[in-house]
Chains A and B, each alone.
Chain A
Amino acid sequence: MPDVTTAEHAAKAGHGHEHGHEEQSFWRQYIFSVDHKVIGIQYAITGLLFLLFGFGLMMLMRWQIAYPGAPIPLIGGLLGDERAPGGIMLPEFYNQLGAMHGTIMVFLGVVPLAVGGFGNFVLPLQIGAPDMAFPKLNMASYWSFFLGGVVMFASFFVPGGAANSGWTSYAPLSVFATTGQTLWLVGMIFLITSSLLGSVNFIVTTIQLRAPGLSFMRLPFFVWAQLVTAFLLLLAFPPLEAAGVLQLMDRVAGTSFFLPSGLVYADAPWEASGGGSVLLWQHLFWFLAHPEVYVLILPAMGIVAEILANNTRKPVWGYRVLVYSVVFLGFMSFVVWAPHMFLTGMGTTMSSFFQTTTMIISIPSVVILSALFITLYGGSIRFTVPMLFALAFLPMFGIGGLTGLPLGLSAPDIHLHDTYYVIGHFHYVVAPGTLMALFGGIYYWFPKATGRKMSDLLGRIHFWGSFVAINVVFMPMLYQGTAGMNRRMYDGGEQYQMNADVLWLNEVISIGAWVLAFFQLFFIYNFFNSIKRGEKVGANPWQATTIEWQAPSPPPHGNFAAPPVAYRGPYEYSVPGAPNDFVMQGDPDSAAQPAKV
């Protein structure tokens, strides 16, 4: 192949010309790139933008909840008469905001950032690979995700607005819903296709492209977490795609997969053949959506393990136990979906089975969290900005996990189901938990991606402000929910007498949310400012051990000048007798440390 011009051709064809990247056009290099690092950054930035957008939707809702019926200040007039006439939010619009907040945060925000962003950027570097195994597939995966995002975003502007049946899209409500729901389903099909292609790529890359000497038990924990996540995405997402196609058929082709016989809608019998099952949707949805919880949390655990080891200057405690736990967690996550459905009348036998499995899956989670806590013991801790976020993750995820136990038991779930307690619980897992870890990861790997550090002072302001504000947001929700306050209330729960005692907290939570938004400004400024003006750093600013820190910052196309080789485990910190307090995985100097697993 004499005239290769594009780098991916060179990479694919498996011969030496891969310095072609200087010749690439702007579009090839930054927009339709096949380089895993560029794709990772594309994922991360798109994910961050969608997180901001989803947060914006929530801030609108929090206004309505705190001050029901009051006109929204500043932007109320811009929303249009079909959403908020006179700036006062309509119930239909509130429902759209709720459904789309959930969908956007989970499928377009956290997963693309945690898996698409960190996975793509860090994983190949950490295993010493030149790129992902299938670079073009990687690009296809990003653009399929992007299209899905565009469809979701566009659905706000169709007649009737965006999907408004909750992020779970329960049938039959969703089958009757306005056009936005159809776009939601189409968008989901794009997103699922994207994650399917991505997960195949991750698994093949991890299994095939590990550097020589990098055995499975020498993989950094982050890679293990991403590998298990990829398997969850590979096997749990397709059933939702199937369910999405069935619901699409119900809506577009008039089938009755999810419609029972004799359905009455708006005082008239619904014209359909009937015979379908309403619960079927819930089973299919939660068969995805519970593993999805672990898709949200496992990459965060991986990031935290990396940051903890680096900043305690100690090996992660119980590496093998961590690995076995995360694999076990992956398997178990496929049989824990039904606690979401305890109150659907699926029967007590099912309930007892699923409450048992749910209690079992808490064991590996607790093991992982404990191991991470024990890692701190006896370490000479560096309180860097990434470390602050990683430290915050531990108790936050702890609260999120422990508050989940009562929901996994069928008896207390009767009281807590569909209350603010549920919202508080899963947000503690995903928002103060996962998001804290993801922010920590951004501060940690930013020097690798750009060659510059983010500002330390702004990072600390961002951390402390967010940490306090985010607890002001979610802690009161647990309290409100225990008092019995229902979620999904357009008026914030005013109409129920029993909520009178806890209603004042609505305003507290809303103010907390706006304060939280304010502190994100420090992050946004810091992020963009540091790309141009941050302090320049070398290849290994954190004195870390894993292979990605061997590559130049930022790594060129193809990543490493020479193929790296792993000589030891990933966390050789403070090795007795070694000249430095860290020995890099790829350091061949056997005087520093005899190679061991």
Chain B
Amino acid sequence: MDIPYIVEERADTGLNNVKLGIWLFLASEASYVLLRLMAVEWPLGVDVLNVPLGAVNTAVLIGSSVTMVMAYASLKMDSLDRYKWWMSWTIGLALLFMVIKGFEYNHEFDIGNFPWTSTYLAIYFTMTGLHALHIIGGVIVNSYFLGPGAKMWETNKAQFTNRVEAAGLYWHFVDLVWIFLFPVLYLL
């Protein structure tokens, strides 16, 4: 027996396995973030952080979400070349985000702001750090689907498209977390 509903949807649930799985995974991540936020006291405002840089980064990340959608849409339109073009942009923008983040961290360290300086900075570094880890994870997965993983296109188009969709859901989630973090950490 083979495992059913890898690509096609099960009639009575209206889902395929991958989509249900990635949504459950994201649900658990959401409860993780929520509880963490409920938990901490909010010590102070924002003079410490570089709001323009953060805003640029927000734009970069939203941009990468858009290109991710374009990559998925290209597969749906049966064009692997366009998919590779948009996926490269997605990865490139994610890396740009990390570079800008690196400059921000570097600046904070230069002016003597470290995780142990205050609880506000501890929260800033922990949350953006964990977010960055998620970005790195996403870049690894997306790079796999751009490179060796794309071979699946020749053998099983539907399943490959599915995989890219799941990666996309994850990517939008990571993006969404940033859209949440940016106002909370930088603006409030």
Q: Contact between B7 and A283 (Cβ–Cβ < 8 Å)?
A: no
Residue of B nearest to A277 (CB): B41
Query: What separation, in Å, do the CA atoms of A12 and B6 have in the docked complex?
Result: 7
The one of A1, A12, A204, A242 in contact with B32, judged by C-beta atoms closer than 8 angstroms, is: A242
Mask of B79-120 contacts with A, CB within 8 angstroms, 1/0: 000000000000000000000000000000000001111110
A423 sits at the interface (CB 8 A):
no
Contact between B115 and A14, CB atoms less than 8 A apart? no
Min CB distance B1 to A, Å, is 4
Interface residues of A in 227-272 (CB under 8 A from B): 234-235, 237-239, 241-242, 245-246, 249, 253-257, 272
> Which of the 9-residue segments A56-64, A79-87, A127-135, A400-408 touches chain B?
A127-135
Interchain CB contact (< 8 A) of A208 among B5, B27, B28: B5
| A345 on interface, CB distance cutoff 8 Å | no
A491 to B17, CA, bound (A): 55
A81 to chain B, nearest CB (A): 35
Contact A239 B31 (CB under 8 A): yes
Q: Determine, out of A195-203, A380-388, A456-464, the stretch whose residues face the partner at the interface.
A: A195-203
The answer to whether B13 and A208 touch across the interface, beta carbons within 8 angstroms, is: yes
Q: Contacts A11-B2, A238-B32; is A256 near B156 (CB within 8 Å)?
A: no
| B20 to A: closest C-beta gap in Å | 5
Closest residue on chain A to residue B20 by CB atoms: A204
Residues of B within 8 A of A242 (CB): 32-33, 35-36
Given contacts A235-B27, A235-B28, A284-B39, contact A275 B119 (CB under 8 A): yes
* Distance in angstroms between the alpha carbons of A16 and B43 in the assembled complex: 60
Which of A141-149, A356-364, A556-564 lies at the interface?
A556-564
B24 touches A254 (CB 8 A): no
Contact A15 B117 (CB under 8 A): no
- The answer to whether the Cβ of A280 comes within 8 Å of any Cβ in the partner chain is yes
Chain B contacts for A274, CB-based, 8 A: 119
Interface residues on A, range: 35 or more
Complex Cα distance A201/B29, Å?
Answer: 15
Most A CB atoms within 10 A — which of B21, B117, B159?
Answer: B21
Q: Which residues 478-497 of A have a CB within 8 angstroms of B? A: none
| B115 neighbours in A (Cβ, 8 Å) | 249, 253-255
User: What is the CA–CA distance of A234 and B40 in the complex, to the nearest angstrom?
Assistant: 22
A515 contacts the other chain (CB 8 A): no
CB <8 Å contact, B17 and A238: no
In whole angstroms, what is the CA distance A226 to B27 when docked? 19
Q: Give the distance to chain A from B95, nearest Cβ to Cβ, in Å.
A: 24
By the criterion CB–CB under 8 Å, are B1 and A130 in contact?
yes
A159 smallest CB distance to B (angstroms): 23
* A239 partner residues in chain B, CB cutoff 8 A: 31-32, 35-36
A549 at the B interface (CB under 8 A): no
> Complex: how many Å from CA A207 to CA B3?
13
Structural contact, A208 and B10, CB atoms closer than 8 A: yes
When the two chains form the complex, which single residue of A255, A284, A287 contacts B116, counting CB atoms closer than 8 Å? A255
Can you name 9 A-B pairs with beta carbons within 8 Å? A133-B3, A133-B5, A208-B15, A209-B17, A235-B31, A237-B28, A238-B28, A241-B32, A253-B122
12 other contacts beyond A12-B3, A208-B4, A235-B31, with CB at 8 A cut-off?
A199-B24, A203-B20, A208-B17, A209-B3, A242-B33, A253-B116, A254-B115, A254-B116, A275-B41, A275-B43, A277-B41, A283-B39
- What are the 6 closest A-B residue pairs judged by CB atoms, nearest first? A254-B116, A255-B122, A130-B1, A238-B32, A239-B35, A133-B17
**B contacts, CB < 8 Å to A:** 1-7, 10, 13, 15-17, 20-21, 24-25, 27-29, 31-33, 35-36, 39-41, 43, 114-119, 122, 125-126, 130, 155-156, 159
A contacts, CB < 8 Å to B? 1, 10-16, 18, 129-131, 133-135, 137, 196, 199-201, 203-204, 207-209, 234-235, 237-239, 241-242, 245-246, 249, 253-257, 272-277, 280, 283-284, 287, 558-560, 563
